[in-house]
Amino acid sequence: MMEVNREDYEALKDDLFDGRLHSSTSKKQFFKDGLLIPSMILVLLLWGTIVLLKVVPILTAQEIRDHGRLGSHRNFYNQNGGKALNSRHTKDGSLKISFENVRNNTFKPKLQSLQWLRVLDFETNDRGLFMTVSNDTYMVKSVHDKEYCQILYQGKDITIHGTAYKIDSLVASPDLKRLLIRTNSVANWRHSYFGTYYIYEIEDSEFYKISDNIAVAQWSPNSIDISFVQDNDLYIYSTETHSISKKITKDGSENIFNGKPDWVYEEEVLESDTALWWSPNGKFIAFFKTLEDKVKEIVIPYYVQNEINHTNGNDLYPEMRSIKYPKAGTSNPEVDVWVYSLEEDRSYPVNINKEHRSNPLLITELFWVNENTFVTKVSDRSSDVLTVLTVDAITQDVNTARNDPAEESWWEITHDTKVVPKNPSKGRDTDGYIDIIPVDGYNHLVYYKSYQDSEPIILTTGNWEVTSDAISFDQENDRLYFIATKKSSVERHLYYIHLSKPGKVHAVTDTDMDGVFSVSFSPGNRFVLLTYRGPDIPYQKIIDLRSKQKDHHTRGNIIGETLYYLEKNDELRHNLLRYSVPEKSFDELYLGMDDNGQDIIVNSFEILPNDFNPELRNHYPVFFFAYGGPNSQQVIKTFSVGFNEVIASQLNAIVVCVDGRGTGFKGKKFRSIVRDNLGDYEARDQISAASIYGGKSYVNAEKISLFGWSYGGYLTLKTLEKDAGEHFKYGISVAPVTDWSLYDSIYTERYMHTPQENIDGYDNSNVANVKNIGKCKRLLIMHGSGDDNVHVQNTMIVLDKFNSNNVANYDMMIFPDSSHAIKYHNANRIVYDKMLDWTRQAFNGDFETYN
């Protein structure tokens, strides 16, 4: 999630009288008789003295310092406990959660990553080698042998001809003899960079420059060759001659990409900066060739990249940056797969799009199943039908293995396919692969024994789902490891099955305890970095899954031997002792029945403010947080202390998150209902949840708000539009889509088809009835002007609708040159400060006069 932070001032309001004196009549009666006044004064003096004596001994040194620094006007005393009630302390004296202690990482768990090394003998001798950095020293270590250490490089910089360059990226060759180093990095899009690359020969301690302005660089499995992309052309650099040995393509241009994705493929398809794949033996490269000549451009002005020079007139005009960006229904990039043979020094196209030039297919995944054959997944542009093709790199034969319709749903783009190599001794006579497909309405593991098979062996079933977080196959033990929601849709546990025994699922992590786990396997799948992410304080440890030893005390895993902890987060656990973190609980909400008479049950969590008192009446505001995009999930039992907890602590508010219909991990039917009609069911479910909370006796139904960012910003506007001020009185919408024809084609058409096919759906899904939004008390809308993902055009169009319909109950902030994350020039701090301050004003009733 986005970072939050800032110490804020919001003194808690508490009653000075207990319940018996709340009645104005009783207070008048008490003061009516003048004879009672002297007695009353005496009693109050005695009572005050006693209270003071009780209070003074329990003040801590920190509280005294806080009192002096903040000023006495920030401290109020409660009749019951004597403790300060303000934005810093709870009634028992514990510190509250604030932006100050969130932004200084007081509650941020330390989590490490391992760069596992896929060395040459990893399949037969998995030593669990990984690269790590300590005291600016890059070294290879082994999780199996703590004494093993191979130094690769010492220093955070490299020095070339007397000039030092910071190391931005370092990747070792598979034989650990050379390093590929990137410096002078310049960010491009979400995943991509340009930089200068060098080769470092470890034995000779020599540097060799490859070139500047390289977009992608990747080791061959042979540890000699490096493929790289420069100016959208694909090259091979040889470390034997330390020179460019081949220029594979010559047509790279602003409209033709080789080996590198364009904007939409990087963002929505590959989720990577790389569109090339070496064969296992290093004899072939499969790569994407992308033609963008038909893709229209979005031009984004950047206003504050440079200071204006008033003397010579430089930088008086905005810097205009153009991106090829296919909006819904417009021309997509035309992508095809090409194959290059190093031995024959020739390349050829697979011609996947030969018959689809006017309406290119999406090529969503590519993986090699053996030394000469790869599999690629393609779909139509609306992801209705998935086609799996096999390609022989030697014969150039292309065959269709299967065609699978989505059946009233869509195919999500995934990268979780796992190759299962042939092994006759294990009964595997052909190379195959593991995939995830819907089985009886839930995503499950299936096994295609041959990559040419059209019908799979079903490995798992049930009303739960296998996620795409990690799939790993241990060939030695015939174990297939995977993460799944078998226990609960808001948890993630590690399981395994024997490939030869489908259906029998074994838990690796302790399912008797709530948990969200993620994993990273060593290349030989013997060792695993197990990361526990919540709901308690996260920790990490290394496990030997093949060890016959068992842990003496179960913590996380019930299978495998814990070798050591990589991170325990003891410092975080100690820090939390000083704070009162608002209580967070998970539940399932019943939202009534759908149009077919079926129960609507959704996942939710709520965070209660400090010192929550359910006996209060019409008291607590409610702050709803939503994302709600198709197949997404926000309600999951991970550890976090951030913006939501700040809202609960500082504003004395209940925070609620509801994953309504359309979100993931509750089955195909639950998520697919939103197809072709985004914004309808999602908004209905937020309104139903608000109605439930508005009916609670301790909730102030006039102070219910909704906040969302990106798809959540869109959902905020659609919910306010549908609700028309009945339940949600306030809303915060950040970087919202407001018209789905403005968003990128690959994401949008997966859920909406094209506008040409579904014009009514687009009309209904857009933010249109702004007069209904005008019926809420107040709206805050914010956007970054440099957003290359959700263009600020979306916000400008809805603002124009506000103006045209005389809707004026909104506040607006634009963040110059900020991208979708809104971080440029301190913007991330400001955007969260604004949301907190604005919400405080809303809950204080400061906007009541606007309506």
Residues taking part in catalysis: 710, 787, 820
Torsions phi, psi for 650 (to 5 deg): -80, -30
- Nearest Cα neighbor of 610 from 239, 76, 87 is 87
**Any alpha helices (H) in 618-758, and if so which ranges?**
643-651, 668-672, 681-694, 711-723, 745-752
The one-letter code for the residue type at 26 is S
Residue with tokens 């039917």: 669
Q: What gap in Å lies between CA 480 and CA 160, rounded to an integer?
A: 47
CA 133 vs. chain centroid, Å, equals 26
Distance CA 692, CA 587 (A): 13
Q: How far, in Å, CA of 620 to CA of 653, rounded?
A: 6
Let me know: does 523 contact 116? Beta carbons within 8 Å.
yes
Backbone φ and ψ of 65, nearest 5°: -60, -40
Cα angle value 476/554/536 (rounded, 5°): 110
Handedness of CA 159, 161, 163, 166 (dihedral sign): negative
From the CB of residue 466, how many other CB atoms can be counted at a distance below 10 Å? 26
CA-to-CA distance for 704 and 360, rounded, in angstroms? Answer: 46
CA nearest 143: which of 526, 482, 538? 526
Residue 32, φ and ψ in degrees, nearest 5: -65, -45
Distance CA 660, CA 686 (A): 7
Contact 706, 732 (CB under 8 A): yes
- Before 535, cis peptide (omega within 30)? yes
Measure the CA–CA gap between 584 and 567, rounded to whole angstroms: 24
